Amino acid sequence: MPKPKQRPAAKLAVILGPGWTRFTYSRQDMEAHGIVKRGLQMGALCRLPTGAYVQVNGDVITALNPSQIALALRRAGAAIPHLAARSATDDSDRVRPIVTIKKRRHIVVPSDRITARPKPAPSDAED
């Protein structure tokens, strides 16, 4: 029996700004950032005190995939500190690998152990 085809996940699109007021009211338990679009669904993009992003429509709260929302926020040009990429020069907490370079081994055979191959005997077939 063939497997049913799965639909690809809908791309997230984020529009930052005050447009979130069309989808929910001002709340004390979350911070609103803008609008989030998932396929044909739209809602307010809000951030919980835990740092998780959610889509809010009225009183319905839907969790969003953290990696997808981070990508959508970067595309929208959000300058949100907790999503800022780490500096390439800041590697104070990174473990550095230890690299050891070993010289190749060359086997040296002493000259007194080298034996010459015996020469083949000349053939006696002279006619």
Q: What burial letters (b/e) apply to 106-121, b meaning 16+ CB within 10 Å?
A: eeeeeeeeeeeeeeee
In a domain, 104, yes or no: no
- pLDDT at site 88: 46
Containing structural domain, residue 57: 12-76
What contacts 24+ positions apart, CB below 8 Å, involve 81-85? 82/51
pLDDT exceeds 90 at position 93: no
In a domain, 71, yes or no: yes
- pLDDT at site 43: 92
pLDDT tens for 43-66 read 999 999 988 999 999 889 999 988
What mean pLDDT value characterizes the chain? 78
Two tokens at 35?
């609008």
- Dist. CA 101–CA 95, nearest whole Å: 19
Q: What band does 124 get if pLDDT is binned at 50, 70 and 90?
A: low
- Model confidence, pTM: 0.55
